[in-house]
Structure 1
Amino acid sequence: MKRTSLAEIADQCPGALMVDATATDEIVKVTGVNHDSRSVAQGDLFACISGAEHDGHSYAIEAINGGAAALLVDRELNLAIPQIVVPDVRKAIGFASAAVYGHPSKQIKVIGITGTAGKTTVAQALAETLKACGESAGVIGTLEGSHTTPEAPEFQKKLSQMQSRGDEWVCVEVSSHGLEFGRVQGTEFAASVFTNLSPEHLDFHKDMEQYFLAKRRLFDQGSGLAVVSVADEWGKRLVRELQEIGHQGLVAVEPNMVEHPKLDVQRSSFVWRGHKIRTRLLGRFNLSNLLLVGETLKGLGLEEEMIASGLEKVQPVKGRMELVTDPGSEIAVIVDYSHKPEALAQALRTLRTISSGYVWVVFGAGGDRDPQKRPLMGQIAAELADEVVVTSDNPRSEDPSHIAQQIVSGMDERSTGPKVLLERAEAIQFAVNHAATGDSVLIAGKGHETYQITGSEQRPFDDTKVAQEALLKRVGTQHS
């Protein structure tokens, strides 16, 4: 087990001062970093983070009793234990964690992906394409843990473990929360990728400007390759700002670089740099995601022919425009994580393009999250779908019927209202039963999640499995 001295840690934390550590630095060695006093292990550096509700400094004694070897604090505590005092523990914990876990990003190539939508698909597709090119690659992101971007100690520990098992590349989903809370501080990125920006997490970031600035932080962390989609104004702004500071290795990815796109419910294709790519990923936006993958790997020095071959091997990501039905089925049922207005609109536009019949959508909205987006999502569903079934997502502490009412309020101009069925399984069964031959049913909002949160209870619920069960019970209908 690697042991790191306090001096080595303090040296990596801007503005750090060691207290009661000089005489014992050769004796005190840190083997891990933790910010939860309940799970501190022997030899850990305990980071006393001051949050909105709790002050980690209040749990220092509990951490010491649990075996903490030293403290990371923003003020000296009257305790007989070595302390590293820093201006802001939250900002320093990433640097401290990188030092303790041996600076893994110096030995392994890290690609960071940020943006509102597409992070998961791009991260997974990058890893799959790298593997197809003969490289070893792993992913840290939404499908691998409870946080899109893990807290700094867990993140650096994962990087270290992936390096130890022989991975040469790690593709990381970097969320705005992760950037705001410094979870990837201390990480060297070989490449940073920007997908897009649309309203999300505005209950946290307050406005789009603050949201953009949080995302931009990924590109302030180093001089590695910067790959930016300029499909929206935020991407264009990011390119301008990076050009103004003379960022080397900047790649602006234009939407028209997806050439000759052909979309179908079973398979899509496009041409990238003269190479025809056939893919099982659905939707124009997924072709854009694959374009970002191709441009990133080309910018990192991989051969075009190998990249093109690898892109064709990319499999659909669970819960991301995932086709549940088999080829030749009467209807198409798609499960997607589109829980944001723009993502829902993209998914529905895709189905309008490739569906020969009506487009159905079954969706809700998460409780205790972004209430302002609910009427907008209702409006989008009413405008882009032929049939709408409003249901529960993860209502959490909110009344599901109240959330549904807020969604429906955005559909006031619609001549015929939506069907409201708060039991999600019932809503899915209703849409599958009533869809006619040639129709497409989008089950939106939860995607890869295998649970539903109602109140304080988390129970098993998997949209894909529920949809498969509904298809077995389906009683087909015909449009009049």
Structure 2
Amino acid sequence: MPEQRSSSPAMPISVEELAAAIGGTCVLPANRRSGQATDSAVVVRGITHDSRSVTPSTLFACVVGKHHDGHHFAADALHAGAAALLVSQVLDVDVPQIVVADVRAVLGSASAVVWGHPWRRFPVVGVTGTSGKTTVTHAVAAIASACGTTCEVMGTLDGTHTTPEAPELCRRLSQAADAGTGMVVLEVSSHALAQGRVNGASFAAGVFTNLSHEHLDFHESMEEYFNAKARLFDGRSQIAVLNVADTWGRRLASMAAGTTAEVVEWQPSDIDQVVVSTEGLSGRWRDRAVHCGLLGRFNAANVAAAAATASALGFDDDAIAGAIAAVSPVRGRLWPVSGPADDITVLVDYAHKPDALAAALAGARELGAAGGRLWAVFGAGGDRDQSKRALMGAAADRHADVLVLTSDNPRSEDPARIASDIAAGVVSRRDADDGLYVELDRSSAISYAVRNAQAGDVLVVAGKGHETVQVTAGHSVPFDDAVVATEHLRQRRSAQT
């Protein structure tokens, strides 16, 4: 393990010092009375772009977003005690303002300065890619912890964003360092990279898993999506750990060679002789036997990524091989909710894009009894990339025996329209007689599959994974796939007695 870096924790910083650090211009209020404390003495002790989170001595960042302009909330922030503003247009207010061309673009760097550059206080590993980020981050953390390094994971399972906004992220990193955490493993989304949430960051290692069709409502093209991911390897990662079995990963390897101190190449086949069962997966990594509790053959790739990352960070390969046993299933990622008393296998998975759904179903297929059927209960999110819906239908059509199309956070869209878009990709079946069902009530859809499955069948409830709410027509209602499936399994067992 490399020597950990350290620096002082966050300290109050003057507005002028902060402006100089981020390349902004400090504008002082014209109506300050002479004789009062100079504006250079105004210090900030925190930063936020949410006016509801302002506390005294906070710097309020007026981010201009798609739907809201933070400049319109400056008065609220000042009323709550903001000491200064970060703006792209000077406002008529009686506090210092740091003026920059784009507030969003410098928010990451400003947050890093305010929180004392927490990235420098311990190794931070960033994991990006379309699929596998959550599992890889938890696997790296499990391996590091088993090898004696205290580790914290930040990502999809512990916040509203895969990657927290820069002020929250830097605050949490600083707090983790203060608490003595030895390493942080962070999911880094394409949105976070495109929006600059990790600007000003330095990563001990950046990891790339894969790239496939996703988020094209935001990025508009695969090339733009790739360019966003590539920003993790523009020099801010000391080591680039890249999946060169992926076409996009090979492009990254060529690009990173000129900007990153070290490029480490890995591929899913680094774990070979893979054997899967309901107990997990086993195989060999660098001629060492390994085993862990992750379900599904596709998870061998995630283990390979985590092992390569740990090795690149300096952990001993023999120790890594033994520590892989500490890697366990992640909530909502091919997560088993059925138990020994059940005659069917029910798995909850977060897969909400075509390739991820295909991988989850292919992995689940191997866990059922010989001759058993594979059920897929899934939908697609509303107000999101519509072009992936038919592709998801096609993926399920190829891999599952029975499809139950249902709602998955339809938001403002008509759930029936979304189901129709998915069904457009299903070509081998057209109705219930062919194994295609539509039940828009998600609980009823899960119930239907659980009630009608035969002994030895495997059910994959996909799309929501760890999520605990269903968003429909602007309202969020409690809904947890694992909880709902568990209840329907209980009812199935009761009916069998």
Q: Same fold (TM over 0.5)?
A: yes
Task: Tell me, yes or no, if structure 1 residue 263 matches structure 2 residue 276.
Answer: yes
Which amino acid in the other structure matches residue 236 of structure 2? G
Partner of 1:296: 309
Any residues of structure 2 matched to 1:108-147 within 5 Å, and which?
108-147=122-161
CA–CA distance in structure 2, aligned partners of residues 134 and 142 of structure 1: 25
Match of 2:140, SS state, is helix
CA–CA distance in structure 2, aligned partners of residues 246 and 426 of structure 1: 52
Task: Tell me, yes or no, if structure 1 residue 471 matches structure 2 residue 489.
Answer: yes
Match of 2:425, SS state, is helix
CA–CA distance in structure 1, aligned partners of residues 442 and 54 of structure 2: 40
CA–CA distance in structure 2, aligned partners of residues 249 and 209 of structure 1: 24
Residue of structure 1 aligned with 2:348, choices 330, 335, 358: 335
Which amino acid in the other structure matches residue 391 of structure 1? T
Residue of structure 2 aligned with 1:240, choices 250, 254, 278: 254
CA–CA distance in structure 2, aligned partners of residues 72 and 57 of structure 1: 9
Partner of 1:191: 205
Task: Tell me, yes or no, if structure 1 residue 460 matches structure 2 residue 478.
Answer: yes
1:208-260 C-alpha deviation (Å, 9 max, x unpaired)? 000000001111142511101122211111112122x1632100112321111
Contact 2:373 / 2:456 at 8 angstroms: preserved in 1? yes
1:126-163 C-alpha deviation (Å, 9 max, x unpaired)? 11211111111101100010110111101100101111
Partner of 1:278: 291
Residue of structure 2 aligned with 1:6, choices 15, 28, 53: 15
Q: Structure 2: 5+ residue runs without aligned partners?
A: 1-9
Between the two proteins, what is the percent identity of the paired residues?
A: 49
Residue of structure 2 aligned with 1:418, choices 411, 432, 436: 436
Distance verdict in 2 for CA 1:223–1:404, change over 3 Å: closer
Which amino acid in the other structure matches residue 217 of structure 1? R
1:166-206 C-alpha deviation (Å, 9 max, x unpaired)? 11111100001111111111111111000100011101100
Any residues of structure 2 matched to 1:80-229 within 5 Å, and which?
80-229=94-243
CA–CA distance in structure 2, aligned partners of residues 446 and 246 of structure 1: 37
Deviates more, 1:442-451 or 1:280-289: 280-289
State the shift of 1:462 in Å.
0.9
State the shift of 1:448 in Å.
0.5
Match of 1:209, SS state, is helix
Partner of 1:398: 413
Distance verdict in 2 for CA 1:459–1:47, change over 3 Å: same
State the shift of 1:12 in Å.
2.5
Partner of 2:5: none
Match of 2:398, SS state, is helix
Which amino acid in the other structure matches residue 9 of structure 1? L
Contact 2:275 / 2:282 at 8 angstroms: preserved in 1? yes
Partner of 1:408: 423
Which amino acid in the other structure matches residue 395 of structure 2? I
Residue of structure 2 aligned with 1:19, choices 2, 9, 27: 27
1:41-88 C-alpha deviation (Å, 9 max, x unpaired)? 110111111222222222222222221111111232232211111121
Contact 1:35 / 1:49 at 8 angstroms: preserved in 2? yes
Distance verdict in 2 for CA 1:318–1:78, change over 3 Å: same
Which amino acid in the other structure matches residue 119 of structure 2? S
State the shift of 1:329 in Å.
3.9
Any residues of structure 2 matched to 1:72-87 within 5 Å, and which?
72-87=86-101
Aligned residues: CA RMSD = 1.9
Match of 2:41, SS state, is coil
* TM-score, normalising length: structure 2: 0.92
Task: Tell me, yes or no, if structure 1 residue 444 matches structure 2 residue 462.
Answer: yes
Which amino acid in the other structure matches residue 445 of structure 1? G
Contact 1:139 / 1:172 at 8 angstroms: preserved in 2? yes
CA–CA distance in structure 1, aligned partners of residues 342 and 495 of structure 2: 14
State the shift of 1:26 in Å.
4.5
Deviates more, 1:199-208 or 1:76-85: 76-85
Task: Tell me, yes or no, if structure 1 residue 28 matches structure 2 residue 42.
Answer: yes
Task: Tell me, yes or no, if structure 1 residue 306 matches structure 2 residue 319.
Answer: yes
* TM-score, normalising length: structure 1: 0.95
Match of 2:284, SS state, is strand
Distance verdict in 2 for CA 1:262–1:328, change over 3 Å: farther
Residue of structure 2 aligned with 1:319, choices 310, 315, 332: 332
State the shift of 1:369 in Å.
1.0
1:248-284 C-alpha deviation (Å, 9 max, x unpaired)? 2100112321111111233210111122111110122
Structure 1 runs (4+) greater than 6 angstroms displaced: 475-478
